[in-house]
Amino acid sequence: MTTENSTTQAPAATLTEQELWKAFLTMTIERSTNFNGVSRSVERYKPEDSVTEPGEHGWMENFNDSIAASIEFSDETEETLDCWITDLECYLEQLKRVREDFRTLKATTIIMPEEPSHDADPATLDAWEHAAIEAEENPRFSLPVIDAGEAA
């Protein structure tokens, strides 16, 4: 008796979004500001540092209690409020930057079926459409290529 395995297996180097996120956190991201093709500044950061950065007042586990206590015992209430607002705004900006870079990584590493030519037969086009919908509903990502300079 012969049993045939008809299960389609993804290539070994594919990742779920969660696995891609874990890899992304440890990467060094490089952002540069360019004006008319001239690089003005280069910034490097690790997303993990931006996500877990505690800020001046420590990690926000007991967020409301921390804010309330620091304001209650402050001799300079308005300045304390300003500090909290500034810290939160900075943290939100860091999270937005991380989100933007992760979206870019996802967009460049998502595995999608290759679109058939426009003159392909209807069955091929239909199969491609179903595969594309499946790929969007259950995305898989290729393993990001890490620059040799980053791996050091």
Q: pLDDT tens for residues 57-95?
A: 555 566 778 888 888 999 999 999 999 899 889 888 999
Q: How far apart are CA 141 and CA 133, in angstroms?
A: 15
Q: pLDDT tens for residues 101-146?
A: 999 999 999 998 999 988 999 999 999 999 999 998 999 999 877 6
Domain boundaries, the chain: 14-146
Q: pLDDT tens for residues 7-32?
A: 444 455 789 999 999 999 999 998 88
Q: What are the φ/ψ torsions at residue 22 (nearest 5 degrees)?
A: -60, -40
pTM: 0.70
**C-alpha to C-alpha distances, 134 to 20, 112, 139, nearest whole angstrom:** 19, 9, 8
